[in-house]
Amino acid sequence: MQIGMVGLGRMGGNMAERLRRGGHEVVGYDRDPAISDVTSLKDLVERLQAPRAIWVMVPAGKPTQATVDELGQLLSEGDTVVDGGNSHYVDDQKHAAELAQKGIRFVDCGVSGGVWGLENGYALMCGGDRDDVERLMPIFQTLKPEGEDGFVHAGDVGAGHFAKMVHNGIEYGMMQAFAEGWELLEASDVVKDVRGSFKSWRTGTVIRSWLLDLMVRAMDDDEHLDQLRGYAQDSGEGRWTVQAAVDHAVPLPVITAALYARFASRQDDSPAMKVVAALRNQFGGHAITSTEGSTGKGADSPGADVTPPRESDR
C-alpha cells in the first residue's frame, strides 16, 4: 500500500522504515531536508495516488493543527488523514469535523512502542469510521506486533487517542509504584542487593512486565541510579487523563498522585512546604530551617514573642 508520512523523527522515521520493510511504498516529509523524500507537503500530496492516505506524526497541539490545516487545503475528497501523534482526543473531533466539510476522511491512532517499535512493533489504538479503518488495515497490520493483540479499533473519532491517554496515565502509576518500591529498598538496612531483588521479580511474580525489564536494564547501566537527577517531565497525557477523570467524575487517586509526584520532582524547594513549616512553627513551636540551612528557634523557644498554643491547637 502507498502512504505518506509527515514527521520522520524517532517514532515517525522508525515507523516509515518498518512499513518499507513490510513492502509498503512510503513517501516521507520532514522539515529536515536531509531525511525528507520531498520538499513540501504539496510535493508529498502530488507524489501520492488518489485516494491518498497520509499519516501525521508531529508534536501535538499547534504543529498538528498547522499540518492538518495545510493538508485540508491540499487533499481531495476521499483522501484520509491519520493523526498518529499524541493529540488530545477533543482535537481529533475538531479536526475530523473540519476535514469532513471537504470530504476528507480522518482517523486518530494512539501509538505505543517507543524506540523499540521498529523491531518489536507498535501497539495501535484507532478511532474513526469502520470503513476508513478497514481501508488502512494493511498499514496497521504491518506496524503492529506479531500475534493476535496489539491493535484495537476502539470506537469513533477520538477513541484511539482517549485509549492511548488512559494507557499513559496507567503507565504513570506503574512507574511511580516501581520508583517508590525502589527508594524503600535502597533505604533499607537489611536489603543488600536491590538490583537483584528487582531482577528476581521478572519471573513468576504478578508484577513481571516490560517496565520491570526496563527498570532492571536501567540498573544494569547504573546500579544505584547515581548518574541521574530525580527530575521527571510529563508529556501532557497524564494531565489530560486526570482532567478527563474530573469531567467524568471518575476517581483516579493513583494516577493523579503519580502526576503530582512529577510536578514535585521539578521543584528545588517546595513553596507549599514553606507554608507548612511556618504554620508548624506558629502553632506548635516546631523548629524551622532557614534558607541558609540553619535551624531557627521554635515559637515556644525562650525569647519567642508569641502566646504558647493550647494542646487542642496542636
User: pLDDT of 157-176, one tens digit each?
Assistant: 999 999 999 999 999 999 99
Catalytic residue among 25, 62, 77, 164, which?
164
- The one-letter amino acid code at 268 reads D
pLDDT at 278: 87
* 3-class state of residue 314 by DSSP: coil
pLDDT at 291: 75
The model carries a pTM of 0.87
Q: Does the annotation mark 223 as catalytic?
A: no
**What is the spatial distance between Cα 70 and Cα 273, in angstroms, rounded to a whole number?**
48
Q: Does the annotation mark 164 as catalytic?
A: yes
- C-alpha cell at position 154: 476502539
User: Which fold does the domain 2-157 belong to in CATH?
Assistant: Rossmann fold (3.40.50)
Q: Which percentage of the chain shows pLDDT scores above 70?
A: 93
Q: Which residues of 116-129 are buried (b: 16+ CB within 10 A; e: fewer)?
A: ebbeebbbbbbbbb
In this predicted model, what pLDDT tens digit does every residue of 101-134 receive, in sequence order? 999 999 999 999 888 899 999 999 999 999 999 9
Pick from 207, 185, 180: nearest CA to 197: 185
pLDDT at 312: 45
Which superfamily, per CATH, for 164-265?
N-(1-d-carboxylethyl)-l-norvaline Dehydrogenase; domain 2 (1.10.1040.10)
**What is the spatial distance between Cα 107 and Cα 28, in angstroms, rounded to a whole number?**
19
- Binned average pLDDT, 10 residues per bin, the chain of 314 residues: 96 96 97 95 97 96 96 97 96 97 97 90 97 98 96 98 96 96 96 97 96 95 92 89 96 96 91 88 84 59 45 46
pLDDT at 295: 61
Catalytic residue among 62, 134, 171, 274, which?
171
